[in-house]
Amino acid sequence: MSASKAPRAPVHGTSFARPLTSVDVVLFTVQADALQVLLVRRPDDAAEPFPGRWALPGGFVNVEVDASLLDCALRKLREKTGAITPYLEQLGSWGSATRDPRGWSATHCFYALVPAMAVALHKGARADEVNWFDADAALRKRLAFDHAELLAAALARLRGKVEYTSLPAFLIEEPFSLPALQHVYEVVLGRPVDKSAFRKRMLDGGFMEEAGMRAAEAGQLGRPAMTYRLRDRSQAALFPRTFNARGADDAG
């Protein structure tokens, strides 16, 4: 904590030590009845921090190619997946002297939602280098850096917002049926929701428009469902109450 070791910098100048600046992205999807998150493996190189550990996709801001933090997050996403128009929102930032062994480091963390089928993992991607994991299982892995903390924060934020927003609509292919959307809600929340209340809430929300009856598939059983599209893919709808009248939150 002593400032005497470093050479004196001009009081108002910019020539002092700068923290490392990175961006990490928590990419969520729903697949196989589970909320999943994309992880990448750190290089297996002893000179690197946390070699061989799973981590969130991300990396240092490149001041030559990234115009902004958001741009940087989109670039990281593009490098790992073919996902093009995810729902993307900032989660917060984490910075300290100790979170990266290479020095004082601050990361700007985003989270993104994509339909599983929209993601084309990069051509050369191997399953032992980039892969989807159940969110709760990923939490129990020994992730690199403080990524377990970032993931926990992203999960809390997502689950909190799902209580009172239409966010899960970004985790599903369009057009979608209401029973399919309800299933996504239940997977994310980890509990069943009442069908009648769910339908009333969604239809009254006014954020969807009808997209015709579900296309018939072979072996499809039961009455076909109406399908819907989002009116506005840039933001989620807000409902006046949370599900179950429980106060649910996110840290933001």
Partner DNA sequence: TAAATAGTGTCTGTAAGACAGTATACT
Partner DNA sequence: AGTATACTGTCTTACAGACACTATTTA
Binding-site ranges for DNA (CB under 7 A)? 177-180, 193-201, 204, 216, 218-226, 239-241, 243-245
Nearest distance in Å: CB 223, its own copies: 32
The closest alpha carbon to 197, from 247, 243, 132, 151, belongs to: 243
Contacts of 101 (CB under 8 A, 6+ apart): 49
Handedness of CA 148, 153, 158, 159 (dihedral sign): positive
In the three-class reduction of DSSP (H, G, I as helix; E, B as strand; rest coil), residue 179 is classed as helix
SS3 154: helix
- The Cα-based distances of 80 to 9, 42, 74, 83, 115 in angstroms read 40, 13, 10, 9, 15
* Residue 45 binds its own copies (CB under 8 A): yes
Q: In the stretch 151-190, what mask flags binding to its own copies with x, by CB under 8 A?
A: ------x------x--------------------------
Task: Tokens 């689950």: give the residue.
Answer: 159
Residue 191 in the binding site for its own copies (CB under 8 A): no
Q: Stretches 27-35, 66-74, 127-135, 218-226: which one binds its own copies (CB under 8 A)?
A: 66-74
Q: Which residue has the tokens 């990234």?
A: 66
Closer Cβ to its own copies, 147 or 183, answer by number: 147
User: Measured between alpha carbons, how far is 134 from 17 in angstroms, rounded to an integer?
Assistant: 39
* Partner from DNA, its own copies, none contacting 89, C-beta within 5 to 8 A by type: its own copies
**Residue 108 near which of its own copies, DNA, none (CB within 5-8 Å, type-dependent):** its own copies
* Binding stretches for its own copies (CB under 8 A): 1-3, 5-6, 12, 14, 16-21, 43, 45, 47-48, 60-69, 89-98, 102-104, 106, 108, 157, 164, 238-242, 245-252
